[in-house]
Amino acid sequence: MPELPEVETVRRGLNQLTLNQEITGGDVLLERTIAYPFSVDEFLTPIKGSAISTWHRRGKYLLAELTSSPSSPSLPHSLTPSSPLNGGLGVHLRMTGQLLWLHQDEPLHKHTRVRLFFRDERELRFVDQRTFGQMWWVPPGVPPESIITGLGKLAVDPFSPEFTVEYLALKLQNRRRPIKTALLDQSVVAGLGNIYADEALFLSGVLPETLCIDLQPEQIERLRASIIQVLEASIEAGGTTFSNFLNVKGINGNYGGVAWVYNRAGEPCRVCGTAIARTRLAGRSSHYCVHCQR
> H/E element holding 66?
strand 61-68
Q: Is residue 290 at the binding interface for Zn ion, with CB under 5 A as the rule?
A: no
Q: How far is CA 269 from CA 85, 149, 203, in A?
A: 51, 41, 12
Choose one: 126-134, 173-181, 188-196, 266-274; the region binding Zn ion (CB under 5 A): 266-274
Is residue 113 annotated as part of the catalytic site, yes or no? Answer: no
Choose, by CB under 5 A, the member of 93, 195, 230, 292 that binds Zn ion: 292
Q: Is residue 261 at the binding interface for Zn ion, with CB under 5 A as the rule?
A: no
Selection from 239, 248, 6 nearest residue 123 by Cα: 248
d(CA 20, CA 292): 49
Task: Sketch the per residue contact string, 218 through 257, with Zn ion: x for CB under 5 A, - otherwise.
Answer: ----------------------------------------
Is residue 73 annotated as part of the catalytic site, yes or no? Answer: no
For residue 22, how far is the Cα from the chain centroid?
25
Q: Are 24 and 48 in contact (CB under 8 A)?
A: yes
Choose one: 124-132, 177-185, 243-251, 265-273; the region binding Zn ion (CB under 5 A): 265-273
Start-to-end CA distance of the chain, whole Å, equals 28
d(CA 243, CA 261): 16
The residue from 3, 8, 22, 65 that is catalytic is 3
CB-nearer residue toward Zn ion: 258 or 272: 272
CB-nearer residue toward Zn ion: 135 or 269: 269
Choose, by CB under 5 A, the member of 116, 269, 277, 281 that binds Zn ion: 269
Is residue 2 annotated as part of the catalytic site, yes or no? Answer: yes
d(CA 190, CA 27): 31
Binding site for Zn ion (CB under 5 A): 269, 271-272, 274, 289, 291-292
